[in-house]
Amino acid sequence: MNYHAKTLLKMHLAPWRMATAGGLLLAGLLAVTGRALYLQGLNTDYLQGKGDAVANRSLTLPAQRGQVSDRNGRLLAISTPVESLWARPADLRLSIVQHAQLARVLEVSPAQLTRMLTRGVRGEFSVRRAVTPEQAAKIAAMGVAGLHLRREFRRYYPAGESAAHVVGFTNVDDVGQEGVERAFQDWLAGREGRRRILRDRRGNTIRDLVPVKSAQMGGNLMLALDLNLQYLAHRELAAAIAQHKAKGGSVVVLDAKTGEILALANQPDFNPNNRSDYRPGPMRNRAIIDTFEPGSTIKPFVAAAVLERGLYHPDSVIDTPETWRVGNKLVRDVHPHPQMTVTEIIQKSSNVGAVKLAMSLTPQQFRDVLHRAGFGERPGSGFPGETAGRLRDAAGWKPVEHATMAYGYGLSVSLLQLARAYMAFANDGEVMPLSFLRREPQEIVGERVFSPGVAREVRTMMEAVTQEGGTGQRTRVPGYRVAGKTGTAHKLVDGRYAADRYLSSFVGMAPASNPRLIIGVVIDEPSDGVYYGGSVAGPVFAQVMAASLRQLGLPPDAPDTATHVTQRATAARGGA
């Protein structure tokens, strides 16, 4: 190196500047060293926390949902383990080849997969819930950082459509949405577990950091439902809906002695195992949520009200002209008779006779009887969405409303509510609390509605409904005495009663000598030209009741020669 170059390299700095610069560099070095010693030797929580945030994870362990079974132990809802695919955006490392391979495994296009993986979510999110075992195995073999499989449970319903409206269903997070799945969510759900793990940079679990807190399985439920009766009710209702080209319908089967709901079916129905086809209409439990004007099925309560006050006896004779005017309302009988006994008024479903009976009571007296029977109040089944129906205060009744309520217009009920009220006639005046769960008879305390004598007298009147001359001849069951009442009501549409749209119903019980079963049937808008309750709802009742009595092994209470009938369409328009 020449002399000139050496001269250029020389630094002509004052000594104090050299000392100042060196001191600053030394101070900085000492500060960094001191901070490192502090963090790594004295205060390790900070760095440890940062490391834990990257390597440690707290996982939720899903709890297996409890099973739901019918009264005989046949499964209605079970949970099966499945794998779900989850992603961590911060760790996701997916090559072009792996992206294409994952798209093929999930059976989506690469563009769809890109949208699935780019949601703008910072934390973990689900990519696909409940992948198949084959898909899970292929995804695990790929070993993609940022993708992992998580064990979950999927609900399965062995009875499918048949019991769907009772059992209900859960959502993708296994939370009950309808039916007993929702009503007993806390009991069925169980308790989630916790697991804290240490993982490597690829997301693989190395070890558990703390003891695992295991998940606790939910409690099991045994319903009062009898799956054999449920299948039967569902089948017969579907057949009637198809035969009469109806809009929908419901069937309820109650144990009169215990208040247990043995079967409940609705049409249209839905498949709870097919999550892609959930529509509000078919999922609606019509028997519990929908209300309708009960028509002539309310008349036994009119008879009970006047008998209870001693105003009439079953054989009291009443003038029943073809028409009877109340205010501006003309009440008319379909099959008029100049005179009828109280029993015949029920047997032949006379509107004029029922109005005369009801008008012998004050509005408050009549309403009190209806309210005691449970109208205007929720039936108390505990089912989500159950309705109280409509029963206005008597103070607001006009004479015409007082009259029309005698044959089932001006109030509204659900089918479950109506069937429950008929327990008063089946149980000698007592109504048992309803239950979707199986229970023992000794656990039940009933509520008295009528005196035993009045209840038995009305039951005898309703037995006449099913005999010769009655409106419910097609409801008879060979070998058994049957009591019940037909109902046919015009539907209220846009504030007016439609002339050609009906609700056809029948509620009855058997064996009438000591009723064990109560069955209610309602058919919404039959459109094949037949619409009377005895002709449309009656045969459904007869088929379900006959099979149910055999299923339960209840002994016949009438000679075959006295009760043997066929189910031919002998009275297509023969009854109210």
Residue-wise pLDDT tens digits, 36-79: 777 666 666 655 555 555 556 666 777 889 999 999 999 999 98
| pLDDT for the residue 568 | 36
**Better-scored residue on pLDDT, 241 or 136:** 241
Residue-wise pLDDT tens digits, 314-371: 999 999 999 999 988 899 998 889 999 999 999 999 999 999 999 999 999 999 999 9
415/421 Cα distance (integer angstroms): 10
Mean pLDDT of 138-154: 81
411/250 Cα distance (integer angstroms): 19
| pLDDT for the residue 146 | 77
Q: How many residues does the chain have?
A: 576
Residue-wise pLDDT tens digits, 517-566: 999 999 999 999 999 999 999 999 999 999 999 999 999 988 663 444 33
> Is 296 in the active site?
yes
| Assigned CATH topology for domain 58-108+122-222 | Penicillin-binding protein 2a (Domain 2) (3.90.1310)
Q: Which of 146-160, 184-198, 331-345 shows the lowest mean pLDDT across its residues?
A: 184-198
State which amino acid sits at residue 315: D
Q: Where does 143-298 have alpha helices with state H? A: 164-167, 179-183, 185-189, 227-243, 280-283, 286-289
| CATH number of this structure's domain 227-270+285-563 | 3.40.710.10
Q: Which residue has the tokens 């002994």?
A: 555
**Better-scored residue on pLDDT, 13 or 547:** 547
| pLDDT for the residue 210 | 56
State which amino acid sits at residue 47: L
Kindly list the domain boundaries of the chain, sorted by start residue: 58-108+122-222, 227-270+285-563
Most confident of 286-290, 444-448, 568-572: 286-290
163/272 Cα distance (integer angstroms): 9
Mean pLDDT of 246-261: 96
Alpha-carbon dihedral 437, 441, 444, 448, rounded to 10 degrees: 120
State pTM to two decimals. Answer: 0.82
Round the average pLDDT of the chain to a whole number and report it.
86
At 208, is the pLDDT very low, low, confident or very high (cuts 50, 70, 90)? low
Residue-wise pLDDT tens digits, 71-105: 999 999 998 888 888 777 777 777 888 888 888 88
Q: Is the pLDDT of residue 228 over 90?
A: yes
State the catalytic residue, choosing from 79, 84, 250, 296. Answer: 296
265/231 Cα distance (integer angstroms): 9
Helices (H) and strands (E) in the chain, counts: 23, 21
Cα torsion angle, 138, 141, 146, 151, sign = positive
| pLDDT for the residue 567 | 38
Percent of the chain, pLDDT > 90? 59
Residue-wise pLDDT tens digits, 436-462: 999 877 767 889 999 999 999 999 999
Mean pLDDT of 128-151: 80
322/342 Cα distance (integer angstroms): 16
